[in-house]
């Protein structure tokens, strides 16, 4: 199994950016945790972070025929990007949307998720553990149901 993990804008600032909301763990901590979980499960993984919507769309398009699943934290693009939604729908790769914080209990505008319209599952409010839950979801074959 091969997974692509995509992280949107400002996630490179984890540990610095609003630690009361996003936690004190860094982006490097997130990458280490995901790689370790995938290694433990025998899953190949590529992890990418970009502040550019275009780069994320391109990564999704390039994933076609190469990856079995996508885990994406679109960050602010969750609430604005029809382009990400369309890219996910176009490649038809099973996708899990992940958010570090519980977006449903935050500002009203954060309750709208375009990416969630195409995702097989959304995991929110579990910090880095949400990514590990997404890996487990794919490992268990849940994305194929």
67 among known catalytic residues: no
Options 27, 67, 99, 114, the catalytic residue: 99
Q: Check: pTM over 0.85? Answer yes or no.
A: yes
pLDDT in tens, 1-11: 999 999 999 99
pLDDT for the residue numbered 95: 98
Domains contained in the chain, CATH given: 2-144 (3.40.50.9100)
Q: Which of 22, 27, 67, 77 is catalytic?
A: 22
The closest of 88, 91, 98 to 129, measured between CA atoms, is 98
Q: What's the pLDDT tens digit per position in 10-60?
A: 999 988 776 676 678 899 999 999 999 999 999 999 999 999 999 999 999
Q: How far apart are CA 144 and CA 140, in angstroms?
A: 9
Active site residue 99: yes
């Amino acid at each position: 199994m091969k997974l692509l993990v995509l992280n949107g804008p400002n996630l490179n600032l984890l540990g610095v950016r609003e630690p009361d909301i996003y936690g004190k763990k860094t982006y490097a901590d997130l990458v280490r945790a995901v790689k370790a979980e995938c290694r433990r499960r025998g899953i190949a993984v590529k992890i990418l972070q970009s502040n550019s919507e275009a780069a994320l769309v391109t990564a999704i398009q390039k994933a076609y025929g190469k990856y079995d699943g996508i885990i994406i934290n679109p960050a602010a693009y969750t609430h604005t990007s029809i382009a990400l939604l369309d890219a996910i729908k176009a490649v038809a790769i099973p996708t899990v949307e992940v958010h570090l914080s519980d977006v449903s209990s935050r500002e009203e505008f954060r309750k709208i998720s375009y990416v969630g319209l195409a995702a097989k599952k959304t995991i929110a409010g579990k910090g880095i553990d949400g990514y590990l839950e997404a890996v487990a979801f794919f490992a268990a074959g849940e994305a194929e149901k």
